[in-house]
Chains A and B, each alone.
Chain A
Amino acid sequence: MSLDVEESIKQDIDLRLKDIAKCEIQRERRLKLYTGKDRVIPVLGFLKSYGFIHLAAISCVDWLDDGEFEIVYNLWSYRDKAGILVKTRISRENPEIDTAIPIYEIAETYEREIHEMFGVNFPGNPNLTSLFLEDWNGPPPMRKDFDTRKYAAEKYGMRDLTEQLKIGMDKIKGVRDGDEIL
């Protein structure tokens, strides 16, 4: 009996990456792989040579209570029509992980975004400049302990329009009572 795609991939991965990664089947044609921070680059290298040639995204999850960031590499194989998530955790105090550019060149932009939004450093990435947030002076905004409401109130501070609102309401009342609008 032939194996399902995901099972044969898992078998191959278990065989080759037994000591450095733990692989799980999530559902049909979807796999998950956990590995250590220092092993990410060799794992990605192996997966690319295995057929996962497309890096669709890199994302970051802030596990505030654990004091860790989780970096998730989202890979796709056109040959097997299967996707795999490579997950690794790094400490929140000193968030740093090697760049994936040598394996996937496209990682540059994704890492730039994570650097900007979470403050994670990627040694080896030559272009960690700002992407969306030009002239940003606050803490990285996607961190869970960033208070977006407070920051917005401080930075953009809206004017108090109570007086104007009252005048407007009086006008509306006037219209209702049959007066002319001033």
Chain B
Amino acid sequence: MGLFKFSRSRSLWMMHFCTGCGAIEMPPTMTSRYDMERFGIIPMATPRQSDLLLVTGYLTVKTLKRVVRSYEQMAEPKYVIAFGSCTMRGGMYWDSYNTVKELDLYIPVDIYINGCMPRPEAIIDAFIKLRDMIDKGEANAWKNYRDNLDWYKQNQAKVFDINKWSAKI
């Protein structure tokens, strides 16, 4: 394990994109009860300063745009954790006309957390898994985004007008 990987995996700055119901599990995870700071993870205010993006639930098309925009602003290497069944397969909004169903069509996801809503233990578990993945050099979803940009942009263009928002194909 190199020095870079070691330091990166132990000082993750996190931006939690509080969409859906999941954000409510973040305060206990951040504060003294579960205290994620013992893993070197702290909340950060802007995408440009963060390494880790948490998407905490269902995404409407309008929100997805903002998520993509925030994700593209983050400096590499960057990691994404998605919460709950809504980000995986639409969850209870599977037939809604205005929520996207599978988040990894639009931005690359390193780890999905199961549940509706995942408990703080599950979130901490995901953080530890992510740390191990970074140590081993496996958390490479961000490279995937760079290599397959066209595919991601195509999928994004299906649900919103990408030209108004982010880098053109």
Contacts and interface: CB of A to CB of B under 8 A. Distances in A.
Are A and B interaction partners? Answer: yes
Interface of A: 132-135, 138, 141, 146, 148-149, 151-153, 155-156, 158-159, 161
Nearest to A148: B97
Chain A binding surface SS class: loop
Interface stretch (B76-84, B129-137, B141-149, B154-162): B154-162
Contacts of B90: 152, 156, 158
Nearest to A161: B89
Contacts of A152: 90, 94-97, 101
Contacts of A138: 97
Contacts of A132: 60, 62, 98
Given A134-B65, A134-B160, A156-B159, A141 B98 contact: yes
Contact of B102 (A134, A141, A146, A158): A158
B71 to A, nearest CB: 18
B111 interface: no
A165 to B, nearest CB: 11
Given A132-B62, A151-B97, A152-B95, 11 more contacts: A132-B60, A132-B98, A133-B62, A135-B164, A148-B96, A148-B97, A149-B95, A155-B158, A156-B102, A158-B90, A158-B102
A159 B161 contact: no
Contact of B61 (A135, A151, A159): A135
Interface string B86-115: 000110001111111110000000000000
23 contacts: A133-B61, A133-B98, A134-B61, A134-B62, A134-B65, A135-B160, A135-B161, A138-B97, A148-B95, A149-B95, A151-B97, A152-B96, A152-B97, A152-B101, A155-B97, A155-B159, A156-B90, A156-B99, A156-B100, A156-B102, A158-B89, A158-B102, A161-B89
Contacts, number: 47
A149 B102 CA distance: 16
Contacts of B95: 148-149, 152-153
Contacts of B65: 134
Given A135-B161, A156-B90, A141 B60 contact: no
B158 to A, nearest CB: 7
A158 B100 CA distance: 10
B19 to A, nearest CB: 14
Most buried by A among B89, B95, B97, B102: B97
Most buried by A among B60, B61, B159: B61
B161 A156 contact: no
Contacts of B96: 148, 152
Nearest to A153: B95
A135 B65 CA distance: 11
Contacts of A155: 97, 158-159
Nearest to B93: A152
A155 B106 CA distance: 13
A30 B3 CA distance: 71
Nearest to A141: B97
Contacts of B94: 152, 158
B80 to A, nearest CB: 18
A155 B94 CA distance: 12
Contacts of B160: 134-135
